[in-house]
Amino acid sequence: MSAKLQRFPRFDRLERVVHWCNATLFLILLLTGASLYAGPLSTIVAHRHAVKTIHVYAGLLLPLPLLLGLLLPAGRQLRRDVGRFNRWTADDRRWWSRRTRARAQLGKFNPGQKLNAVFVGASIVLMLATGSIMRWFEPFPNSIRTGATFVHDWVFISLIFVIVGHIMFAFADFDSLRSMVRGWVPEQWARRERPRWWAEVVAARSESGEGSGGASGDVEAGRDEGVGKARVGAGEMPVGD
């Protein structure tokens, strides 16, 4: 049926801009950070002073995309998705075990994605705080400076694993990866991979009525992306396939 190629909005434009700003800043920070940190690399890259300056400025910029996104009126869906990272349902618990995973009716994000988001969010705070202590060290006692460097180093090592994992998982699910570029997933994907989210969105659509604009952030995003016309009413679709 027509649902096969339906565009199902997943990330609105603001979320995608925030994501790719974050990704760019993280990449710059990891590369410059690695060359400041690892002996063999730092001997190849050199230019320590310039690298350090880039690292510090990129670090100061790092919290801005997310903060702006959360504060702007257009960040409604972003705020909602951050709320989703917070909430863990019984289905999320089922997902962790291979045995019960098949029965897990997931919402918009799987628990791995939630953990990733929470870790990256916390690491922005930690890296900014410890990095600031390292950069403006004068008022701090020695042990605090060393402690800040210690935390900065270990969060850096952890981030490498988390980000490499994030990218590998993204490439393993191409529909999911592409939705961070074009904003939508095929509706089939949403029904199959994120049934609870799919049902949520479809229910919100039917409440607000076909084409009349909806209360749900996800549905609004769909209209923003100009895919409203492609939408189908919930009545045509059996919920909870």
Partner 1 sequence: MTDAGSPIGRRVFLGLIGAGAAGVLVGSRVQDFLASHTPKALSILPIGDHFRFYTVTDGFPKRAPQDYRLTVKGLVERPFTMTYDELRAMPPTMLTKDFQCVTGWRVPGVHWTGVKLGDLLDKAGVQTAGKALRFTSFDGTYTESLTLEQARRNDVIVAYDLEGKPLSSDHGGPARLYVAPMYGYKSCKWLDGIEVVDHVIPGFWEDEGYDVDGWVGLSNGRDDQPTSS
Q: How many residues bind partner 1 (CB under 8 A)?
A: 52
Q: Which of 68, 119, 224, 234 binds partner 1 (CB under 8 A)?
A: 119
- Can residue 15 be called a binding residue for partner 1 (CB under 8 A)? no
Least separation, in Å, of the C-beta of 150 and partner 1?
3
What is the per-residue binding string for partner 1 in 176-205, x denoting contact by CB under 8 A?
Answer: --------------------x---x-----
- Can residue 169 be called a binding residue for partner 1 (CB under 8 A)? no
**Alpha carbon of residue 202 to chain centroid:** 23
CB closer to partner 1, 85 vs 169: 85
Q: Contact at 8 Å (CB) between 235 and 206?
A: yes
- Can residue 49 be called a binding residue for partner 1 (CB under 8 A)? yes
Query: Which tokens hold the place of 136?
Result: 């403006």
Q: Which residue has the tokens 């027509």?
A: 2
Q: Which of 70, 72, 125, 181 binds partner 1 (CB under 8 A)?
A: 125
CB closer to partner 1, 73 vs 83: 83
Nearest in space to 17 (alpha carbons), one of 6, 25, 9, 28: 25
- Can residue 145 be called a binding residue for partner 1 (CB under 8 A)? yes
Least separation, in Å, of the C-beta of 199 and partner 1?
8
CB closer to partner 1, 9 vs 111: 111
Task: List all residues 6 or more positions away from 142 whose beta carbon is below 8 Å from its beta carbon.
Answer: none
DSSP designation for 74 = G
- Can residue 118 be called a binding residue for partner 1 (CB under 8 A)? yes
Segment near partner 1 (CB under 8 A); pick from 4-12, 70-78, 117-125, 209-217: 117-125
How far is Cα 80 from Cα 7, in angstroms, rounded to an integer?
Answer: 20
Q: Contact at 8 Å (CB) between 25 and 61?
A: yes
Distance of CA 165 to CAs 2, 156, 171, 174, 184, Å? 35, 14, 10, 15, 22
How far is Cα 67 from Cα 72, in angstroms, rounded to an integer?
Answer: 9
Least separation, in Å, of the C-beta of 181 and partner 1?
25
Least separation, in Å, of the C-beta of 226 and partner 1?
28
Q: Which residues of 90-107 are buried (b: 16+ CB within 10 A; e: fewer)?
A: ebbebbeeeeeeeebbbb
Q: Interface residues with partner 1 (CB under 8 A)?
A: 37-39, 42-43, 46-49, 85-92, 107, 114-115, 117-119, 121-123, 125-126, 129-130, 133-134, 137-138, 141-151, 153-157, 196, 200
